[in-house]
Structure 1
Amino acid sequence: MTLSWRRLRAGRRAAKEGETGDMELTIPNHFRCPISLDLMKDPVTLSTGITYDRHSIETWIEAENFTCPITNQVLTSFDLIPNHTIRKMIQDWCVEKKSFGIERIPTPRIPISSVQVAEILSKISTSSHHQNKDDCQVLVTKIKALAKESERNKRCIVATGTGSVLAGAFSALSNSQHHQNVAVLEEILSALTLVFPLDGEASLYLGSPASLRCMVWFLESGDLSQRRNAALVLKETAVSSDHDHQKTDALAEIEGALEALVKLIKEPVCATSTKASLVIIYQMVNSSSSLSKEKIKERFVEMELVSLLSDFLVDAERSICERALGVLDRLCGSKQGREKAYLHALTMPVVVKKILRVSDLATEFSVSILWKLCKNETREDGGVVVESLQVGAFQKLLLLLQVGCAERTKEKATDLLKALNIHRERLECIDSMDFKQLKRSF
């Protein structure tokens, strides 16, 4: 089998002929992976004696194929033994064919095994248990480096239960004076962000009072990287358990926690940390126990989160917009939240604008917010109902019913149209150009 590489004619030949030629180059068959038929970059040999490229055979095995692709023999072992002889021959051949545009394949690093990972994790557990922060930090740094080395390493590290061991170490070192263990705790937080999603055991460790207090401390006092990592790990902790309300209630009781989360929105570190903060806040105002949920909402409203989100939504990108609308919807479920929304000039225009503009989820939240604000309006002049008409709510809701939406959203949209229709005759419609680019889903 041959492959063609197009190369420019070099030197005087190029000057004379001034054109590009096709040169045919034959790759030796024993340099090709039997699966992909491409030049092998990391040749490994199976227990059947057949050599494949590591990526191809790993993909084959991960697809639950437990036989050798060539011999069809059942694999008695899944160990992949590096074939250094073939690899060196391929590298020499690449150097020899350099003039054809062939680049020498780099010498691959041998992937880490689950046994090696387990050995490192055992040392991390021991060192953290004995409060040996220096040794623990060195070991965690090693795990991080291995995870970043290759995707294959990362999968092996995650599958070996690294998340729960790191979380246990974080909890153990947080129980002591965490101010003295900042360096190692920061390193553990950074490593944890590489092994998401976290399992239930890791969530339990990170949901301990000591761990939560430590992460809040990083949110309040850490640098940009520390605040980002703390927010990401807190988010994973909040959403990875069936008992979310216990963790969110405990988090809300920690002094400065709510203020630190709001600060991540007001003074964003990066889009990822902003999303994480919004997810945590949503969990707190949605998954907490009934009594604490209302108290948490009141505290967020007092921090001017409603006004902040209204401003934030003006030019927020899609995923952030969905999360911000979700939080705003929950806050508007309280009287104090609605009062703040009524007072902010951007609330109605922004919420109406997001209908049919961002995503189905954003539309669902927007209609829900609009419904809560309009149905709880007490002023005789119509107040927000009239305002929503002026910014085009009636036309958008009609279009939403025509395009189609979820049943609960449809019920709220219908209910809103009835309320809006009372005031419609004395107000002009908005310019229909607002919907010019909208495409129906059918």
Structure 2
Amino acid sequence: MISSWRRLRAVRRAQKVVLMVGSSEQEEAATSDQTELLTIPSHFRCPISLDLMKDPVTLSTGITYDRESIEKWIESGNRTCPVTKQPLTIRSLDVGPICIPNHAIRRMIQDWCVENHSFGIERIPTPRIPVSPMDASDILNNIASTSSRGDRQGCVQSLAKLKSLIRESERNKRCFVTHGAGTALSSAFKDFSNSSSSSSLLHESNVFVFEEILSVLPSMFPLNEDARSQLGSPAAMHCMVSLMRSGGLSARRNSVLALKEIVSSSDSSRRNQVEALAAIDGALEAIYELIKEPICPTATKASLVITYHMTTLTHPTHAKERIITRFVEMGLVNLLVETLIDADKSICEKALGVLNGICNTELGIHTAYDNSLVIAILVKKLLRVSDLATEFSVSILWKLLTTRKSRINENDEGVDQALAEVLQVGGFQKLLLLLQVGCSERTKEKTSELLKLLNLHRERLERLECIDSQDYKDLKRPFL
């Protein structure tokens, strides 16, 4: 297979002339230029990708490849040279293949690009040498040593080198991750946090170094247990909350991403870290503001994940109720309902998860009842977003209807009105269809209870039902 370069610039020039002159001869010239092809010399093409090599390197087998292609080959688990099929040594697999830059071929390719510049071919830049494991270790050691002795300027300089190298290539980033960049950065953040003021305001001299560390740290996710432990220290979380409240947009975004990484861990310390975060003055307000005034979708999702863990983890009862009560007082329920109106799939799932957690308390249920849109939106999300969103929607409806009705001794007109609204917007048919297409056992139980409750009111309110059968024309039915 022979790859070719089209004479792009010649075609563009010819097309411009056609537009200006409008002659049939120029049109024919443009057509002929467009079909004229320039063949890449075979020894300039990578044997793997068959494209022009940008960074030619030679293996010990004597075959030259493009660096990106051969590294992907090795990372995929291959242990032989793609062309010769000769096995690669174990030493080459520890730090990647033994790739010797082929400067002669690279210069020949660059000269060829310059010679064919008129055909629209741009000269490939001289590639940078990838960072070595020794260089990566030296930079990380410098970050650790400068942070331990409080040398802000020295730490920022090392961070600048780290940022520059990981931006150059994905390979450099993987090299730093492999050599413990996440732990080194988390430890540095903790060291400077311990030297900051314990008040809600950060020490001004440390703000810049905090922002620099957090600007690199998300690139190292997911963190290991040691890194999460250091980043989840009380002093470090205080600093991140302060940055979320008074920092710039990037600092607020990176802070909430770091907090999400801490509370989303699967180790045994997660509960303690979530409770410690919730106990920090201004933490709940800062997270709420990021949902209310979004910076970017990533920050919004991270804020919702943190809120979900705060409202659903097994806290002591009084601690969970305190957290939910504060969120409800700030207006989180109404904010979530507004967010659900036109949210994408990911945000919708997370917002429903938070609303489901809030409805674990009586205050949350009453507040949700007061929102006139909640029933219609929950029914709308059934079978439309994802299986997870459907499960959350069923759970919230179940809590709003059956749980509340069981807590009062006499008939509740509010529950009757809610049942009528569910029937009116087609909730009965959707729930019935959910049982047919299948769902989890827990969701099936809640759906069945809802259907029994709705069926009692169905005869009286049958005329209010409305549903468009076209809504389900593309729905897959695995039971057929």
Query: Is the pair's TM-score, using the shorter chain for normalization, greater than 0.5?
Result: yes
CA contact (8 A) 1:46 1:80 kept: yes
State TM-score, norm by structure 2: 0.87
Greater alpha carbon shift after TM alignment, 8-17 vs 288-297? 8-17
Shift in alpha-carbon separation, 1:305–1:434, aligned structure 2, 3 A: farther
1:338 equivalenced with 2:365 (yes/no): yes
> What is the root-mean-square deviation in Å for CA atoms of aligned residues?
2.1
1:18 equivalenced with 2:44 (yes/no): no
Partner in structure 2 of residue 305 of structure 1 = 332
Deviations 1:43-89 (A, max 9, x none): 00112222111111101111122222223222233221211111000
Shift of 1:411: 1.7
Aligned partner of 2:303 among 272, 277, 288: 277
**Aligned residues: percent identity?**
56
Partner in structure 1 of residue 213 of structure 2 = 188
State TM-score, norm by structure 1: 0.94
Rounded Cα–Cα distance in structure 2 between residues aligned with 1:373 and 1:276: 27
Give 3-state SS (helix, strand or coil) of 2:342's partner.
Answer: coil
Rounded Cα–Cα distance in structure 2 between residues aligned with 1:79 and 1:183: 39
Aligned partner of 2:43 among 30, 33, 36: 30
Deviations 1:264-313 (A, max 9, x none): 11122221111100000111112243333333223222322222212221
Shift in alpha-carbon separation, 1:315–1:35, aligned structure 2, 3 A: closer
CA contact (8 A) 1:163 1:202 kept: yes
Deviations 1:215-234 (A, max 9, x none): 11111111222111111111
Partner in structure 2 of residue 106 of structure 1 = 125
Shift of 1:317: 1.7
Rounded Cα–Cα distance in structure 2 between residues aligned with 1:25 and 1:315: 49
Deviations 1:108-140 (A, max 9, x none): 222212221111000000000000011111211
1:392 equivalenced with 2:426 (yes/no): yes
Shift in alpha-carbon separation, 1:4–1:72, aligned structure 2, 3 A: closer
CA contact (8 A) 1:3 1:24 kept: no
Shift in alpha-carbon separation, 1:18–1:216, aligned structure 2, 3 A: same
CA contact (8 A) 2:304 2:350 kept: yes
1:431 equivalenced with 2:466 (yes/no): yes
Shift of 1:346: 1.6
Shift of 1:356: 1.5
Greater alpha carbon shift after TM alignment, 299-308 vs 129-138? 299-308
Rounded Cα–Cα distance in structure 2 between residues aligned with 1:430 and 1:6: 62
Aligned partner of 1:262 among 268, 284, 288: 288
Give 3-state SS (helix, strand or coil) of 1:44's partner.
Answer: strand
Map 1:232-247 onto structure 2 (within 5 A). Answer: 232-242=257-267, 243-247=269-273
Partner in structure 2 of residue 360 of structure 1 = 387
Rounded Cα–Cα distance in structure 1 between residues aligned with 2:39 and 2:255: 53
Shift in alpha-carbon separation, 1:296–1:2, aligned structure 2, 3 A: closer
Rounded Cα–Cα distance in structure 2 between residues aligned with 1:357 and 1:2: 47
1:201 equivalenced with 2:220 (yes/no): no
Map 1:138-157 onto structure 2 (within 5 A). Answer: 138-157=157-176
Shift of 1:240: 2.2
Shift of 1:173: 0.3
Partner in structure 2 of residue 120 of structure 1 = 139
Shift of 1:38: 2.3
Greater alpha carbon shift after TM alignment, 355-364 vs 97-106? 97-106
Give 3-state SS (helix, strand or coil) of 1:18's partner.
Answer: helix
Aligned partner of 1:318 among 317, 320, 345: 345
Rounded Cα–Cα distance in structure 1 between residues aligned with 2:326 and 2:469: 37
Give the AA of the match of 1:347. V
Shift in alpha-carbon separation, 1:248–1:266, aligned structure 2, 3 A: same
1:223 equivalenced with 2:248 (yes/no): yes
Rounded Cα–Cα distance in structure 2 between residues aligned with 1:215 and 1:136: 19
Give 3-state SS (helix, strand or coil) of 1:37's partner.
Answer: coil
Shift of 1:262: 1.0
1:286 equivalenced with 2:320 (yes/no): no
1:169 equivalenced with 2:188 (yes/no): yes
Rounded Cα–Cα distance in structure 2 between residues aligned with 1:4 and 1:131: 56
Shift in alpha-carbon separation, 1:270–1:3, aligned structure 2, 3 A: closer
Greater alpha carbon shift after TM alignment, 389-398 vs 188-197? 389-398
Shift in alpha-carbon separation, 1:16–1:262, aligned structure 2, 3 A: closer
